[in-house]
Amino acid sequence: MNITQGAVATTASQQPWRERDGKVVLLASRVAGRETLHFPPMPATSPLAARSELVELIGTPSLYSYTVVHSSPKANKAPQPLGQVDFPEGVRVFGRLDMPGGRRPVIGEPMRVCIEPNEAGPIYAFRPVHEEAQA
């Protein structure tokens, strides 16, 4: 779904998501005359911003790749899975993976966008669709 550029565009690069029909969707940019999408959306200060529109990524992404980051034992932080997901709209997005029960991600599994709290404020992350259905 395309969204006209307006007040949302000024903050979309800083918070590239919104809630639509009870679920979180990410926002991308499309420059006029081009088919490709860009994530995160272009900031309002970009020379291309005036010629771009916001597009909601409403398709179900699938996990393309992942890694698990292990912090130093001194940091006392749990391992953090990170991944790349492919949206059917043709965009690959990098982000945190929220894997319930600490289970390992599975390449190709359908994912869902969710919002997680963070020290610096909320961030988007990806959670397996099948885990959502069971919760």
pLDDT single digits (tens) 9-62? 336 778 999 998 899 999 999 999 999 999 999 998 999 989 999 999 999 999
Mean pLDDT of the chain: 88
User: Would you state the structure tokens that stand for residue 57, as one six-digit string?
Assistant: 């990524």
Please choose, from the candidates 99, 134, 92, the residue with its C-alpha nearest in 3D space to the C-alpha of residue 114: 99
Rg (CA), the chain: 16
Distance CA 49, CA 22 (A): 28
Q: At residue 53, what is the residue type?
A: E
Q: Which residue has the higher pLDDT, 131 or 18?
A: 18
Sheet of 17-20, strand order: 2-3, 52-57, 23-31, 17-20
Task: Say whether pLDDT at 135 is over 60.
Answer: no
- Distance (Å, rounded) from C-alpha 13 to C-alpha 96? 18
Residue 7, pLDDT score: 43
